[in-house]
Structure 1
Protein backbone atom coordinates (compact mmCIF):
# COMPACT_ATOMS: atom_id res chain seq x y z
CA UNK A 1 0.00 0.00 0.00
CA UNK A 2 2.78 2.41 0.96
CA UNK A 3 4.77 1.55 -2.17
CA UNK A 4 1.71 2.20 -4.31
CA UNK A 5 1.27 5.66 -2.81
CA UNK A 6 4.94 6.45 -3.35
CA UNK A 7 4.68 5.36 -7.00
CA UNK A 8 1.62 7.58 -7.50
CA UNK A 9 3.41 10.56 -5.97
CA UNK A 10 6.49 9.93 -8.08
CA UNK A 11 4.41 9.70 -11.28
CA UNK A 12 2.48 12.83 -10.32
CA UNK A 13 5.65 14.82 -9.76
CA UNK A 14 7.09 13.51 -13.03
CA UNK A 15 3.92 14.60 -14.83
CA UNK A 16 4.14 18.09 -13.33
CA UNK A 17 7.79 18.38 -14.36
CA UNK A 18 6.95 17.08 -17.82
CA UNK A 19 4.13 19.60 -18.23
CA UNK A 20 6.58 22.39 -17.46
CA UNK A 21 8.92 21.11 -20.15
CA UNK A 22 6.03 20.78 -22.62
CA UNK A 23 4.92 24.34 -21.92
CA UNK A 24 8.45 25.63 -22.49
CA UNK A 25 8.79 23.57 -25.69
CA UNK A 26 5.47 24.92 -26.94
CA UNK A 27 6.51 28.52 -26.32
CA UNK A 28 9.85 28.03 -28.07
CA UNK A 29 8.19 26.25 -31.01
CA UNK A 30 5.63 29.03 -31.43
CA UNK A 31 8.37 31.66 -31.21
CA UNK A 32 10.43 30.06 -33.95
CA UNK A 33 7.43 29.30 -36.18
CA UNK A 34 6.37 32.95 -36.10
CA UNK A 35 9.85 34.46 -36.30
CA UNK A 36 11.68 32.37 -38.90
CA UNK A 37 9.41 33.33 -41.86
CA UNK A 38 11.04 36.78 -41.85
CA UNK A 39 14.28 35.24 -43.07
CA UNK A 40 12.64 34.01 -46.26
CA UNK A 41 12.71 37.63 -47.49
CA UNK A 42 15.44 39.19 -45.32
CA UNK A 43 18.88 37.74 -44.67
CA UNK A 44 19.91 37.15 -41.04
CA UNK A 45 22.99 39.35 -41.56
CA UNK A 46 20.85 42.28 -42.70
CA UNK A 47 18.52 41.70 -39.79
CA UNK A 48 21.26 41.55 -37.15
CA UNK A 49 23.60 44.13 -38.71
CA UNK A 50 21.14 46.58 -40.22
CA UNK A 51 21.17 50.11 -38.84
CA UNK A 52 17.61 51.14 -39.72
CA UNK A 53 14.37 50.00 -38.10
CA UNK A 54 11.48 51.40 -40.16
CA UNK A 55 8.82 48.67 -40.30
CA UNK A 56 6.19 50.97 -41.85
CA UNK A 57 8.24 51.63 -45.01
CA UNK A 58 7.49 49.77 -48.22
CA UNK A 59 9.47 47.55 -48.22
CA UNK A 60 10.08 47.52 -44.49
CA UNK A 61 13.54 48.04 -43.03
CA UNK A 62 14.24 45.60 -40.21
CA UNK A 63 17.75 46.23 -38.94
CA UNK A 64 18.04 45.55 -35.22
CA UNK A 65 21.71 46.44 -34.65
CA UNK A 66 20.85 49.65 -32.70
CA UNK A 67 18.29 47.69 -30.67
CA UNK A 68 20.80 44.92 -29.97
CA UNK A 69 23.50 47.40 -28.96
CA UNK A 70 21.01 49.19 -26.70
CA UNK A 71 20.06 45.95 -24.94
CA UNK A 72 23.68 44.95 -24.41
CA UNK A 73 24.68 48.46 -23.27
CA UNK A 74 21.84 48.70 -20.76
CA UNK A 75 22.63 45.21 -19.44
CA UNK A 76 26.37 45.88 -19.16
CA UNK A 77 25.97 49.24 -17.42
CA UNK A 78 23.33 47.97 -15.01
CA UNK A 79 25.58 44.99 -14.19
CA UNK A 80 28.50 47.31 -13.47
CA UNK A 81 26.31 49.01 -10.89
CA UNK A 82 24.42 46.00 -9.52
CA UNK A 83 27.22 43.42 -9.21
CA UNK A 84 29.40 45.30 -6.67
CA UNK A 85 26.36 46.44 -4.71
CA UNK A 86 24.75 42.99 -4.64
CA UNK A 87 27.94 41.09 -3.81
CA UNK A 88 29.04 43.54 -1.10
CA UNK A 89 25.57 43.43 0.45
CA UNK A 90 25.73 39.64 0.48
CA UNK A 91 29.18 39.72 2.11
CA UNK A 92 27.97 42.13 4.78
CA UNK A 93 24.81 40.13 5.54
CA UNK A 94 26.58 36.76 5.68
CA UNK A 95 29.90 37.69 7.26
CA UNK A 96 29.68 40.98 9.15
CA UNK A 97 26.12 41.98 9.99
CA UNK A 98 24.91 41.44 13.57
CA UNK A 99 21.71 39.38 13.83
CA UNK A 100 19.55 42.46 14.50
CA UNK A 101 20.81 44.28 11.39
CA UNK A 102 20.44 41.13 9.29
CA UNK A 103 16.82 40.72 10.37
CA UNK A 104 16.11 44.27 9.21
CA UNK A 105 18.17 44.53 6.02
CA UNK A 106 17.53 41.13 4.46
CA UNK A 107 13.71 41.49 4.22
CA UNK A 108 14.12 44.89 2.58
CA UNK A 109 16.52 43.47 0.00
CA UNK A 110 14.10 40.65 -0.76
CA UNK A 111 11.23 43.15 -0.94
CA UNK A 112 12.96 44.81 -3.90
CA UNK A 113 12.54 41.57 -5.84
CA UNK A 114 8.81 41.63 -5.14
CA UNK A 115 8.27 45.16 -6.46
CA UNK A 116 6.46 45.18 -9.83
CA UNK A 117 8.64 46.42 -12.64
CA UNK A 118 6.03 49.03 -13.59
CA UNK A 119 6.46 50.61 -10.15
CA UNK A 120 10.21 50.88 -10.63
CA UNK A 121 9.66 52.26 -14.12
CA UNK A 122 7.30 54.88 -12.72
CA UNK A 123 9.92 55.89 -10.15
CA UNK A 124 12.46 56.17 -12.95
CA UNK A 125 10.14 58.49 -14.85
CA UNK A 126 9.11 60.82 -12.02
CA UNK A 127 12.24 60.76 -9.81
CA UNK A 128 15.36 59.75 -11.76
CA UNK A 129 14.49 61.43 -15.08
CA UNK A 130 14.03 64.98 -13.63
CA UNK A 131 17.25 64.53 -11.64
CA UNK A 132 19.23 63.63 -14.77
CA UNK A 133 17.80 66.61 -16.63
CA UNK A 134 18.35 69.14 -13.84
CA UNK A 135 21.78 68.07 -12.59
CA UNK A 136 23.46 66.36 -15.56
CA UNK A 137 22.05 68.54 -18.32
CA UNK A 138 20.49 65.67 -20.24
CA UNK A 139 18.19 66.66 -23.10
CA UNK A 140 15.81 63.99 -21.89
CA UNK A 141 15.77 62.18 -18.56
CA UNK A 142 14.57 59.05 -20.35
CA UNK A 143 17.86 57.62 -21.54
CA UNK A 144 20.42 54.84 -21.27
CA UNK A 145 21.66 55.89 -17.83
CA UNK A 146 18.16 56.04 -16.38
CA UNK A 147 17.33 52.56 -17.66
CA UNK A 148 20.61 51.16 -16.32
CA UNK A 149 20.02 52.65 -12.86
CA UNK A 150 16.54 51.19 -12.56
CA UNK A 151 17.61 47.79 -13.92
CA UNK A 152 20.48 47.76 -11.43
CA UNK A 153 17.97 48.18 -8.61
CA UNK A 154 15.99 45.27 -10.04
CA UNK A 155 19.05 43.02 -10.36
CA UNK A 156 20.48 43.62 -6.89
CA UNK A 157 18.08 41.26 -5.01
CA UNK A 158 18.86 38.33 -7.34
CA UNK A 159 22.61 38.87 -7.17
CA UNK A 160 22.53 39.41 -3.41
CA UNK A 161 20.39 36.34 -2.60
CA UNK A 162 22.33 33.88 -4.77
CA UNK A 163 25.69 35.29 -3.65
CA UNK A 164 24.66 35.03 -0.01
CA UNK A 165 23.72 31.38 -0.50
CA UNK A 166 27.14 30.76 -2.08
CA UNK A 167 28.93 32.47 0.81
CA UNK A 168 26.86 30.57 3.36
CA UNK A 169 27.87 27.28 1.70
CA UNK A 170 31.58 27.92 2.34
CA UNK A 171 32.64 25.51 5.12
CA UNK A 172 33.15 27.11 8.50
CA UNK A 173 36.41 25.21 8.84
CA UNK A 174 37.99 27.41 6.14
CA UNK A 175 37.20 30.53 8.12
CA UNK A 176 38.49 29.02 11.36
CA UNK A 177 41.71 27.81 9.72
CA UNK A 178 42.37 31.26 8.26
CA UNK A 179 41.77 32.99 11.59
CA UNK A 180 43.94 30.40 13.37
CA UNK A 181 46.82 31.22 11.03
CA UNK A 182 46.69 34.86 12.09
CA UNK A 183 44.61 36.41 9.30
CA UNK A 184 42.27 39.22 10.22
CA UNK A 185 38.55 38.92 9.68
CA UNK A 186 38.71 41.10 6.58
CA UNK A 187 41.64 39.12 5.14
CA UNK A 188 39.68 35.92 5.74
CA UNK A 189 36.70 37.33 3.85
CA UNK A 190 38.45 38.54 0.71
CA UNK A 191 41.26 35.95 0.55
CA UNK A 192 39.42 32.81 1.65
CA UNK A 193 35.64 33.09 1.77
CA UNK A 194 34.98 35.08 -1.40
CA UNK A 195 37.38 33.03 -3.59
CA UNK A 196 35.80 29.81 -2.27
CA UNK A 197 32.34 31.12 -3.24
CA UNK A 198 33.42 32.65 -6.54
CA UNK A 199 31.62 30.11 -8.70
CA UNK A 200 28.34 30.74 -6.91
CA UNK A 201 28.86 34.49 -7.15
CA UNK A 202 29.47 34.07 -10.89
CA UNK A 203 26.13 32.28 -11.15
CA UNK A 204 24.48 35.19 -9.34
CA UNK A 205 25.99 37.65 -11.80
CA UNK A 206 24.78 35.66 -14.82
CA UNK A 207 21.25 35.39 -13.41
CA UNK A 208 21.19 39.11 -12.67
CA UNK A 209 22.28 39.89 -16.24
CA UNK A 210 19.58 37.57 -17.58
CA UNK A 211 17.01 39.49 -15.56
CA UNK A 212 18.27 42.80 -16.93
CA UNK A 213 18.45 41.86 -20.62
CA UNK A 214 14.95 40.37 -20.64
CA UNK A 215 13.19 43.15 -18.73
CA UNK A 216 10.45 44.85 -20.75
CA UNK A 217 8.42 47.36 -18.76
CA UNK A 218 11.33 49.33 -17.28
CA UNK A 219 13.13 49.88 -20.60
CA UNK A 220 9.83 50.70 -22.29
CA UNK A 221 9.14 53.44 -19.74
CA UNK A 222 12.54 55.00 -19.04
CA UNK A 223 14.97 54.21 -21.91
CA UNK A 224 13.65 56.90 -24.26
CA UNK A 225 12.47 54.76 -27.19
CA UNK A 226 14.93 56.00 -29.83
CA UNK A 227 16.10 53.25 -32.20
CA UNK A 228 19.60 54.65 -32.71
CA UNK A 229 23.13 53.94 -31.59
CA UNK A 230 23.89 55.75 -28.31
CA UNK A 231 26.87 58.09 -28.30
CA UNK A 232 26.76 58.82 -24.56
CA UNK A 233 25.08 57.59 -21.40
CA UNK A 234 22.53 60.40 -21.68
CA UNK A 235 21.24 59.40 -25.13
CA UNK A 236 17.81 57.75 -25.44
CA UNK A 237 17.87 54.13 -26.58
CA UNK A 238 15.41 51.43 -27.47
CA UNK A 239 16.31 47.92 -26.28
CA UNK A 240 14.78 44.90 -27.99
CA UNK A 241 12.11 44.09 -25.36
CA UNK A 242 10.82 47.68 -25.57
CA UNK A 243 10.37 47.36 -29.35
CA UNK A 244 8.35 44.19 -28.99
CA UNK A 245 6.12 45.62 -26.27
CA UNK A 246 5.59 48.95 -28.02
CA UNK A 247 4.81 47.65 -31.51
CA UNK A 248 3.19 44.24 -31.20
CA UNK A 249 -0.32 45.56 -30.47
CA UNK A 250 -0.33 47.72 -33.64
CA UNK A 251 1.19 45.15 -36.00
CA UNK A 252 -0.95 43.46 -38.69
CA UNK A 253 -1.24 39.75 -38.05
CA UNK A 254 1.29 37.64 -39.98
CA UNK A 255 2.82 40.68 -41.67
CA UNK A 256 6.57 41.14 -42.13
CA UNK A 257 6.56 43.50 -39.16
CA UNK A 258 4.81 40.82 -37.08
CA UNK A 259 7.39 38.20 -38.02
CA UNK A 260 10.23 40.69 -37.39
CA UNK A 261 9.09 41.23 -33.81
CA UNK A 262 9.03 37.49 -33.23
CA UNK A 263 12.51 37.30 -34.77
CA UNK A 264 13.64 39.84 -32.17
CA UNK A 265 12.13 37.50 -29.59
CA UNK A 266 14.27 34.68 -30.97
CA UNK A 267 17.40 36.81 -30.53
CA UNK A 268 16.38 37.64 -26.95
CA UNK A 269 15.66 33.99 -26.25
CA UNK A 270 19.09 32.93 -27.52
CA UNK A 271 20.85 35.63 -25.48
CA UNK A 272 18.98 34.68 -22.31
CA UNK A 273 19.63 30.99 -23.00
CA UNK A 274 23.35 31.74 -23.32
CA UNK A 275 23.37 33.54 -19.96
CA UNK A 276 21.51 30.66 -18.30
CA UNK A 277 23.85 28.05 -19.79
CA UNK A 278 26.85 29.97 -18.48
CA UNK A 279 25.19 30.23 -15.05
CA UNK A 280 24.46 26.50 -15.08
CA UNK A 281 28.06 25.69 -16.00
CA UNK A 282 29.36 27.92 -13.22
CA UNK A 283 26.98 26.34 -10.70
CA UNK A 284 28.03 22.84 -11.80
CA UNK A 285 31.67 23.79 -11.41
CA UNK A 286 30.89 25.12 -7.94
CA UNK A 287 29.19 21.86 -6.93
CA UNK A 288 32.09 19.77 -8.28
CA UNK A 289 34.60 21.93 -6.44
CA UNK A 290 32.60 21.57 -3.25
CA UNK A 291 32.40 17.80 -3.65
CA UNK A 292 36.12 17.49 -4.29
CA UNK A 293 36.81 19.68 -1.24
CA UNK A 294 34.76 17.34 0.89
Structure 2
Protein backbone atom coordinates (compact mmCIF):
# COMPACT_ATOMS: atom_id res chain seq x y z
CA UNK A 1 0.00 0.00 0.00
CA UNK A 2 2.77 2.40 0.92
CA UNK A 3 4.61 1.53 -2.31
CA UNK A 4 1.46 2.28 -4.32
CA UNK A 5 1.09 5.67 -2.65
CA UNK A 6 4.74 6.44 -3.32
CA UNK A 7 4.32 5.57 -6.99
CA UNK A 8 1.23 7.78 -7.22
CA UNK A 9 3.07 10.69 -5.63
CA UNK A 10 6.02 10.19 -7.98
CA UNK A 11 3.74 10.13 -11.03
CA UNK A 12 1.98 13.25 -9.78
CA UNK A 13 5.32 15.01 -9.28
CA UNK A 14 6.47 14.06 -12.76
CA UNK A 15 3.15 15.26 -14.18
CA UNK A 16 3.58 18.60 -12.41
CA UNK A 17 7.13 18.90 -13.73
CA UNK A 18 5.97 18.24 -17.29
CA UNK A 19 3.15 20.76 -16.87
CA UNK A 20 5.61 23.40 -15.59
CA UNK A 21 7.98 22.74 -18.46
CA UNK A 22 5.16 22.89 -20.98
CA UNK A 23 3.93 26.15 -19.46
CA UNK A 24 7.44 27.60 -19.53
CA UNK A 25 7.94 26.51 -23.14
CA UNK A 26 4.59 27.97 -24.11
CA UNK A 27 5.42 31.24 -22.37
CA UNK A 28 8.85 31.39 -24.05
CA UNK A 29 7.21 30.70 -27.39
CA UNK A 30 4.71 33.53 -26.85
CA UNK A 31 7.49 35.93 -25.85
CA UNK A 32 9.54 34.90 -28.88
CA UNK A 33 6.55 35.40 -31.16
CA UNK A 34 5.80 38.77 -29.58
CA UNK A 35 9.41 39.91 -29.98
CA UNK A 36 9.51 38.85 -33.63
CA UNK A 37 6.18 40.54 -34.29
CA UNK A 38 7.38 43.85 -32.81
CA UNK A 39 10.62 43.63 -34.80
CA UNK A 40 8.80 42.90 -38.05
CA UNK A 41 6.36 45.70 -37.33
CA UNK A 42 9.19 48.21 -36.81
CA UNK A 43 10.93 47.00 -39.98
CA UNK A 44 7.67 47.31 -41.90
CA UNK A 45 7.10 50.85 -40.64
CA UNK A 46 10.63 51.87 -41.66
CA UNK A 47 10.22 50.33 -45.12
CA UNK A 48 6.84 52.03 -45.49
CA UNK A 49 8.27 55.43 -44.49
CA UNK A 50 11.22 55.12 -46.88
CA UNK A 51 9.02 53.92 -49.73
CA UNK A 52 6.54 56.74 -49.09
CA UNK A 53 9.33 59.33 -49.16
CA UNK A 54 10.73 57.91 -52.38
CA UNK A 55 7.30 57.87 -54.01
CA UNK A 56 6.39 61.36 -52.79
CA UNK A 57 9.63 63.04 -53.90
CA UNK A 58 9.65 61.18 -57.21
CA UNK A 59 6.03 62.05 -58.00
CA UNK A 60 6.64 65.69 -57.13
CA UNK A 61 9.95 65.81 -58.98
CA UNK A 62 8.69 64.44 -62.29
CA UNK A 63 5.69 66.81 -62.30
CA UNK A 64 7.92 69.40 -63.98
CA UNK A 65 8.26 67.13 -66.99
CA UNK A 66 4.80 65.51 -67.02
CA UNK A 67 2.56 68.46 -66.07
CA UNK A 68 4.57 71.48 -67.18
CA UNK A 69 6.03 69.68 -70.21
CA UNK A 70 9.59 70.83 -69.60
CA UNK A 71 12.33 68.99 -71.47
CA UNK A 72 14.60 66.92 -69.23
CA UNK A 73 17.60 67.85 -71.37
CA UNK A 74 16.92 71.56 -71.05
CA UNK A 75 16.41 71.19 -67.30
CA UNK A 76 19.75 69.44 -66.78
CA UNK A 77 21.79 71.50 -69.24
CA UNK A 78 20.14 74.91 -69.06
CA UNK A 79 22.08 77.73 -67.42
CA UNK A 80 19.26 80.19 -66.73
CA UNK A 81 17.32 79.78 -63.50
CA UNK A 82 14.23 82.01 -63.42
CA UNK A 83 11.21 79.78 -62.65
CA UNK A 84 8.84 82.74 -62.58
CA UNK A 85 9.74 83.39 -66.22
CA UNK A 86 9.62 79.73 -67.24
CA UNK A 87 13.43 79.27 -67.26
CA UNK A 88 14.54 76.37 -65.08
CA UNK A 89 18.05 75.46 -66.12
CA UNK A 90 19.47 73.53 -63.14
CA UNK A 91 23.04 73.20 -64.40
CA UNK A 92 24.46 76.08 -62.26
CA UNK A 93 23.19 74.44 -59.05
CA UNK A 94 24.38 71.01 -60.12
CA UNK A 95 27.84 72.33 -60.96
CA UNK A 96 27.96 74.30 -57.70
CA UNK A 97 26.99 71.25 -55.62
CA UNK A 98 29.58 68.99 -57.22
CA UNK A 99 32.28 71.67 -57.10
CA UNK A 100 31.79 72.29 -53.38
CA UNK A 101 31.53 68.58 -52.62
CA UNK A 102 34.65 67.49 -54.50
CA UNK A 103 36.68 70.46 -53.27
CA UNK A 104 35.76 69.78 -49.64
CA UNK A 105 36.59 66.08 -50.02
CA UNK A 106 39.94 66.83 -51.68
CA UNK A 107 40.93 69.24 -48.91
CA UNK A 108 39.63 67.13 -46.00
CA UNK A 109 40.96 63.70 -47.03
CA UNK A 110 44.71 64.33 -46.44
CA UNK A 111 44.00 65.90 -43.03
CA UNK A 112 41.66 63.05 -42.08
CA UNK A 113 44.08 60.31 -43.17
CA UNK A 114 47.00 62.01 -41.41
CA UNK A 115 45.01 62.40 -38.22
CA UNK A 116 43.87 58.78 -38.36
CA UNK A 117 47.45 57.54 -38.86
CA UNK A 118 48.58 59.57 -35.86
CA UNK A 119 45.75 58.19 -33.72
CA UNK A 120 46.31 54.55 -34.68
CA UNK A 121 50.00 54.09 -35.54
CA UNK A 122 52.16 56.95 -34.27
CA UNK A 123 50.64 57.80 -30.90
CA UNK A 124 47.53 55.71 -30.25
CA UNK A 125 47.11 56.55 -26.55
CA UNK A 126 47.88 60.27 -26.68
CA UNK A 127 46.18 60.65 -30.04
CA UNK A 128 43.00 59.10 -28.73
CA UNK A 129 43.02 61.26 -25.60
CA UNK A 130 43.79 64.50 -27.46
CA UNK A 131 42.00 64.17 -30.78
CA UNK A 132 38.97 62.04 -29.99
CA UNK A 133 37.30 64.80 -27.88
CA UNK A 134 38.03 67.30 -30.65
CA UNK A 135 36.40 65.08 -33.26
CA UNK A 136 33.36 64.53 -31.06
CA UNK A 137 33.12 68.28 -30.47
CA UNK A 138 33.19 69.02 -34.20
CA UNK A 139 30.44 66.47 -34.79
CA UNK A 140 28.20 68.02 -32.14
CA UNK A 141 28.38 71.61 -33.41
CA UNK A 142 25.18 72.58 -35.29
CA UNK A 143 25.51 73.50 -38.94
CA UNK A 144 24.14 77.00 -38.33
CA UNK A 145 27.11 77.67 -36.04
CA UNK A 146 29.48 76.64 -38.82
CA UNK A 147 27.59 78.98 -41.11
CA UNK A 148 27.93 81.92 -38.72
CA UNK A 149 31.64 81.24 -38.24
CA UNK A 150 32.10 81.08 -41.99
CA UNK A 151 30.14 84.30 -42.42
CA UNK A 152 32.13 86.11 -39.73
CA UNK A 153 35.60 84.67 -40.37
CA UNK A 154 35.98 82.88 -43.69
CA UNK A 155 34.11 85.35 -45.90
CA UNK A 156 36.01 88.47 -44.64
CA UNK A 157 39.29 86.53 -44.85
CA UNK A 158 38.66 85.54 -48.47
CA UNK A 159 37.56 89.10 -49.26
CA UNK A 160 40.86 90.47 -47.94
CA UNK A 161 42.96 87.82 -49.70
CA UNK A 162 41.42 87.46 -53.17
CA UNK A 163 39.07 90.44 -53.30
CA UNK A 164 35.48 90.45 -54.39
CA UNK A 165 32.60 89.85 -52.03
CA UNK A 166 34.22 86.89 -50.28
CA UNK A 167 31.23 84.69 -51.01
CA UNK A 168 31.79 81.76 -53.32
CA UNK A 169 32.71 78.13 -53.75
CA UNK A 170 36.02 78.40 -51.93
CA UNK A 171 34.39 79.88 -48.82
CA UNK A 172 31.84 77.07 -48.80
CA UNK A 173 34.68 74.59 -49.30
CA UNK A 174 36.46 75.73 -46.15
CA UNK A 175 33.26 75.49 -44.11
CA UNK A 176 32.41 72.04 -45.44
CA UNK A 177 36.01 70.93 -44.95
CA UNK A 178 35.62 71.37 -41.20
CA UNK A 179 32.17 69.78 -41.23
CA UNK A 180 33.12 66.58 -43.09
CA UNK A 181 36.52 66.17 -41.40
CA UNK A 182 35.16 64.31 -38.34
CA UNK A 183 33.19 61.87 -40.49
CA UNK A 184 36.12 60.96 -42.71
CA UNK A 185 38.54 60.83 -39.77
CA UNK A 186 36.38 58.55 -37.61
CA UNK A 187 35.70 56.08 -40.41
CA UNK A 188 39.36 56.10 -41.47
CA UNK A 189 40.42 55.32 -37.91
CA UNK A 190 38.06 52.34 -37.87
CA UNK A 191 39.44 51.17 -41.22
CA UNK A 192 43.05 51.36 -40.06
CA UNK A 193 42.26 49.51 -36.84
CA UNK A 194 40.50 46.79 -38.83
CA UNK A 195 43.71 45.87 -40.68
CA UNK A 196 44.92 42.47 -39.34
CA UNK A 197 47.75 42.86 -36.88
CA UNK A 198 49.84 40.16 -38.52
CA UNK A 199 50.15 42.33 -41.65
CA UNK A 200 52.05 44.91 -39.64
CA UNK A 201 54.09 42.31 -37.75
CA UNK A 202 55.09 40.54 -40.97
CA UNK A 203 56.17 43.81 -42.59
CA UNK A 204 58.28 44.83 -39.60
CA UNK A 205 59.78 41.34 -39.39
CA UNK A 206 60.95 41.63 -43.01
CA UNK A 207 62.91 44.79 -42.12
CA UNK A 208 60.48 47.51 -43.27
CA UNK A 209 60.48 50.77 -41.38
CA UNK A 210 57.40 52.00 -39.57
CA UNK A 211 56.54 54.49 -42.32
CA UNK A 212 57.06 51.90 -45.04
CA UNK A 213 54.72 49.60 -43.15
CA UNK A 214 52.11 52.32 -42.78
CA UNK A 215 52.28 53.56 -46.37
CA UNK A 216 52.72 50.28 -48.25
CA UNK A 217 50.88 47.78 -46.07
CA UNK A 218 48.37 49.36 -43.70
CA UNK A 219 47.10 52.12 -45.98
CA UNK A 220 46.81 49.77 -48.96
CA UNK A 221 44.90 47.22 -46.91
CA UNK A 222 42.60 49.93 -45.56
CA UNK A 223 42.02 51.58 -48.96
CA UNK A 224 38.42 50.30 -49.39
CA UNK A 225 37.50 51.59 -45.93
CA UNK A 226 39.17 54.95 -46.58
CA UNK A 227 37.33 55.31 -49.89
CA UNK A 228 34.09 54.50 -48.09
CA UNK A 229 34.87 57.23 -45.56
CA UNK A 230 35.51 59.74 -48.34
CA UNK A 231 32.23 58.82 -50.07
CA UNK A 232 30.32 59.26 -46.81
CA UNK A 233 31.99 62.65 -46.35
CA UNK A 234 31.02 63.64 -49.87
CA UNK A 235 27.43 62.60 -49.22
CA UNK A 236 27.47 64.73 -46.08
CA UNK A 237 28.83 67.70 -48.00
CA UNK A 238 26.45 67.23 -50.94
CA UNK A 239 23.39 67.38 -48.72
CA UNK A 240 24.45 70.26 -46.48
CA UNK A 241 22.18 73.27 -46.84
CA UNK A 242 22.26 75.92 -44.14
CA UNK A 243 26.00 76.41 -43.66
CA UNK A 244 26.62 76.47 -47.42
CA UNK A 245 23.75 78.86 -48.01
CA UNK A 246 25.28 81.41 -45.65
CA UNK A 247 28.69 81.60 -47.36
CA UNK A 248 28.30 80.64 -51.03
CA UNK A 249 26.41 83.73 -52.18
CA UNK A 250 23.20 82.04 -53.47
CA UNK A 251 23.67 83.31 -57.02
CA UNK A 252 21.96 80.93 -59.47
CA UNK A 253 24.54 81.49 -62.20
CA UNK A 254 27.27 79.34 -63.68
CA UNK A 255 30.37 79.74 -61.48
CA UNK A 256 33.32 81.13 -63.41
CA UNK A 257 35.92 80.36 -60.74
CA UNK A 258 36.22 79.36 -57.12
CA UNK A 259 35.79 82.88 -55.77
CA UNK A 260 32.66 83.83 -57.69
CA UNK A 261 29.27 83.58 -55.92
CA UNK A 262 27.37 80.43 -56.78
CA UNK A 263 24.49 78.28 -55.62
CA UNK A 264 23.91 74.63 -54.78
CA UNK A 265 20.88 72.40 -54.99
CA UNK A 266 20.32 72.55 -51.26
CA UNK A 267 20.81 76.31 -50.92
CA UNK A 268 18.38 76.95 -53.76
CA UNK A 269 15.82 74.68 -52.15
CA UNK A 270 16.03 76.34 -48.75
CA UNK A 271 15.79 79.86 -50.14
CA UNK A 272 13.03 79.25 -52.68
CA UNK A 273 10.65 76.63 -51.33
CA UNK A 274 8.87 79.05 -49.01
CA UNK A 275 8.10 81.55 -51.79
CA UNK A 276 6.33 79.19 -54.19
CA UNK A 277 2.79 77.84 -54.51
CA UNK A 278 2.18 74.12 -54.63
CA UNK A 279 1.52 72.84 -58.15
CA UNK A 280 3.06 75.79 -59.98
CA UNK A 281 6.14 75.56 -62.21
CA UNK A 282 8.51 77.21 -59.66
CA UNK A 283 7.39 74.77 -56.97
CA UNK A 284 7.66 71.74 -59.26
CA UNK A 285 11.11 72.86 -60.38
CA UNK A 286 12.32 72.92 -56.78
CA UNK A 287 10.93 69.43 -56.25
CA UNK A 288 12.90 68.37 -59.31
CA UNK A 289 16.04 69.68 -57.61
CA UNK A 290 15.09 67.63 -54.55
CA UNK A 291 14.74 64.58 -56.78
CA UNK A 292 18.28 65.12 -58.07
CA UNK A 293 19.49 65.24 -54.45
CA UNK A 294 17.67 62.00 -53.72
CA UNK A 295 19.17 60.26 -56.74
CA UNK A 296 22.64 61.44 -55.77
CA UNK A 297 22.17 60.11 -52.23
CA UNK A 298 21.15 56.74 -53.64
CA UNK A 299 24.19 56.83 -55.92
CA UNK A 300 26.54 57.53 -53.01
CA UNK A 301 25.02 54.66 -51.00
CA UNK A 302 25.31 52.26 -53.94
CA UNK A 303 28.92 53.32 -54.48
CA UNK A 304 29.72 52.67 -50.83
CA UNK A 305 28.24 49.17 -51.07
CA UNK A 306 30.24 48.39 -54.21
CA UNK A 307 33.50 49.56 -52.62
CA UNK A 308 32.81 47.62 -49.42
CA UNK A 309 32.00 44.46 -51.37
CA UNK A 310 35.18 44.69 -53.45
CA UNK A 311 37.21 45.31 -50.31
CA UNK A 312 35.69 42.23 -48.67
CA UNK A 313 36.49 40.08 -51.70
CA UNK A 314 40.04 41.43 -51.71
CA UNK A 315 40.58 40.47 -48.05
CA UNK A 316 39.07 37.01 -48.64
CA UNK A 317 41.57 36.37 -51.40
Give TM-score, length-normalised by structure 2: 0.88
The alpha-carbon distance between structure 1 residues 98 and 36, as it changes in their structure 2 partners (threshold 3 A), is closer
Higher radius of gyration, 1 or 2:
2
Residue 149 of structure 2 is aligned to residue 123 of structure 1: yes
Equivalent position of 1:256 in the other structure: 281
Deviation, 1:28, is 1.1
> Aligned partners of 2:114 and 2:294: how far apart in 1?
30
> Aligned partners of 2:111 and 2:233: how far apart in 1?
12
> Aligned partners of 1:163 and 1:127: how far apart in 2?
29
Residue 102 of structure 2 is aligned to residue 76 of structure 1: yes
Equivalent position of 1:35 in the other structure: 61
Equivalent position of 1:17 in the other structure: 43
After superposition, give the CA deviation of every residue in 1:226-283 in whole Å (9 maximum; x if it has no partner): 1111121110100011111000001012111111100011111111211111011111
Deviation, 1:85, is 1.2
How many correspondences in the alignment?
A: 289
Unaligned segments of structure 2, at least 5 residues:
1-26
Residue 236 of structure 2 is aligned to residue 208 of structure 1: no
Residue 123 of structure 2 is aligned to residue 97 of structure 1: yes
> Aligned partners of 2:309 and 2:88: how far apart in 1?
39
Secondary structure of 2:237 counterpart: helix
> Aligned partners of 1:103 and 1:15: how far apart in 2?
42
Equivalent position of 1:280 in the other structure: 305
Q: Over the residues paired in the alignment, what is the CA RMSD in angstroms?
A: 1.3
> Aligned partners of 1:173 and 1:16: how far apart in 2?
41
- Asked whether the equivalents of residues 181 and 233 of structure 2 are also in contact (C-alpha less than 8 Å), the reply is yes
After superposition, give the CA deviation of every residue in 1:91-113 in whole Å (9 maximum; x if it has no partner): 11111124133212112112212
Deviation, 1:12, is 1.9
- Asked whether the equivalents of residues 118 and 124 of structure 2 are also in contact (C-alpha less than 8 Å), the reply is no
